[in-house]
Amino acid sequence: MITLADLQVSSLGPCRYDSPLASYVADRQTNEYYVSEGDRVLYDDTIDLLERRAEPVERSPSFEPGGPRARIFHDPATTHVGVVTCGGLCPGLNDVIRAVTLELYTHYGVTQVTGFQNGYAGLVPQLGFEPVSLTPGLVGSINKRGGTVLGTSRGAQDPSVIVDRLVELEIDALIVIGGDGSMHGAHKIVEEIGRRGLAIGVVGIPKTIDNDIPHIGQSFGFATAFSEASKAITAAHVEAESAYNGVGLVKVMGRHAGFIACYAALANHDADFVLIPEVPFALDGENGLLRTLARRVRAHGSAVVVLAEGAGQELMPATGKSDASGNRRLGDIAAVVRAAIEKDFHDRGEPLTLKYLDPGYGIRAVPADAADSVYCARLAQIAVHAAMSGRTDMVVGRRRHRFVHVPIPLVIERRHSVAPDGDLWLSVLESTAQPLDMS
């Protein structure tokens, strides 16, 4: 059970400076613009959930709202902010870098913004990556291209070395744009800062193309990703429908969570089967994929199977390997499923035209779409507001259309995933008409 204490955000100290954003509100300095320090955003969103807790609403779990404060911790005239992008690529990284830089320069008057190249490696001097001065001129049009102008990398670095570098460069706040592993690293940096008694803030902007970070609503880049994935599903559907006994097999990203597969399938209703890590399936047996697929092809002439990369890992031996971030390397479930389908049709003496599509890296590399670009800009602005007000060891997110601050320890304790008994998976089952149980 989440408690109010779990949702308390750390701060570097009392806010001593008037916000430069006062010019935006003139004489109406009210909650219409500034966030009230005493306000909270409830964690539970139904009366039933609140009543189950049987405690006063002021003691119910609630988030600190995101947004500009009337008073801030850092003096804009002397503040130095660092920015780093870590982990895999995701649509919108350049949008976030751009919006962070512009918000600091244009609205807070902070003119010292430093980008670190190639993830946390850029904070280790021995590796030779020089910091980059981020200016409005430099970032002006970077949102039009995919990837990250700062570069990125996976893998942890020594937090003591990183903090030494922050001190050397007189960084007052570090904004970390990254996923689960990056936030683990950010928390370790905060712990090292705390051990030294330094007033350096660390604020995260969660980045996960799989949308598997909890408590933040939806990660930036996810909407662009499932939109691009849906195009591959449409292509597979056209190929399969145009062939005799056609089967389209589409593998999409989703190591531990099947959100891309689910949303992409719902976007066009062209998928007949969606296979995700959270819901086990069997290849053989009366309710297994092979027999169910054969029945679907006989009845309709074709079928499309959407497969998240982390699905069905129990159907093959573990690789025993890990990547630089410590993630277990997955077996190639697409190869297993493809071979099994081809063998099954061959053994039954039935013709098969199978088309396999893997749009994975193409999805990661595209620029953010318009909706995601807006989301990136707003998350970046909320992160800057948080950093300037002295918040630390937290990430920004949006829950039920309200921007909030979430403590990093809370977002790294587990992964967000598709609930097999939840409404999203039920919607997928309704869309595909696949069996409830394929195990």
What is the per-residue pLDDT across 304-333, written as a single tens digit (0 to 9) for each? Answer: 999 999 999 999 887 777 666 566 778 899
- In which element (H, E) is residue 101 found? helix 93-102
pLDDT in tens, 58-108: 889 999 999 999 999 999 999 999 999 999 999 999 999 999 999 999 999
Residues, the chain, total? 439
pLDDT of residue 28: 54
Asked if residues 428 and 266 have their Cβ atoms less than 8 Å apart, the reply is yes
pLDDT computed for residue 321 by the predictor: 73
Least confident of 120-134, 310-324, 389-403, 425-439: 310-324
Longest dimension (CA), the chain: 80
pLDDT at 51: 85
Residues 145-201 pLDDT 10s = 999 999 999 888 999 999 999 999 999 999 999 999 999 999 999 999 999 999 999
Tell me the pLDDT band of 113, cut-offs 50, 70 and 90: very high
pLDDT at 26: 56
For residue 272, the model assigns a pLDDT of 97
Pairwise CA distance, residues 321 & 349, whole Å: 38
- Tell me which residue of 282, 233, 274 sits closest to 254, measured CA to CA: 274
Short-list 201, 194, 300, 312, CA closest to 246 = 300
Catalytic residues: 210
Q: What is the pLDDT of residue 37?
A: 83
Supply 50's token pair.
């609140």
pLDDT at 27 > cutoff 60: no
% of residues, the chain, pLDDT over 90: 84
For residue 302, count CB atoms less than 10 angstroms from its CB and return exposed for 0-12, middle for 13-18, buried for 19 or more.
buried
Beta strands in 155-284 (DSSP E): 173-178, 201-206, 246-252, 273-275
Here the tokens at position 271 are: 């998928």
Mean pLDDT of 364-371: 94
Tokens (6 digits) for 197: 């008694």
Do β-strands 246-252 and 17-18 pair in parallel, antiparallel, or remain unpaired?
A: unpaired
pLDDT the model gives residue 391:
98
* Confidence at residue 56, expressed as pLDDT on a 0 to 100 scale: 86
Across 7-17, average pLDDT: 96
Give residue 318's pLDDT.
Answer: 76
Report residue 427's pLDDT band, with 50, 70 and 90 as the boundaries.
very high
Q: What is the mean pLDDT of the chain?
A: 93
Residue 9 to residues 201, 229, 321, 381, Cα–Cα distance (Å): 12, 36, 36, 18
pLDDT on residue 1: 81
Rg of the chain over all Cα atoms, to the nearest angstrom? 24
Residue 229: CB partners within 8 Å, gap ≥ 6? 250, 252, 253, 260, 261, 264, 359, 363
Summarize the confidence of residues 46-55 as an average pLDDT: 86
pLDDT grade for 336, boundaries at 50, 70 and 90: very high
Give the integer Cα–Cα distance in Å for 38 and 198: 26
In terms of pTM, does the model score above 0.85?
yes
CA distance 55 to 174: 37
CB neighbour class for 252 (10 Å; exposed up to 12, middle 13-18, buried from 19): buried
User: Are 192 and 157 in contact, with CB atoms under 8 Å apart?
Assistant: no
Taking residues 8-17, what's their average pLDDT? 96
The pLDDT > 70 percentage for the chain reads 96
When pLDDT is cut at 50, 70 and 90, the band that residue 30 belongs to is low
Structure confidence at residue 25 (pLDDT): 62
> Which range, of 49-63, 223-237, 275-289, 411-425, averages the lowest pLDDT?
49-63
Task: Give the list of residues 6+ apart from residue 158 with CB closer than 8 angstroms, or none.
Answer: 124
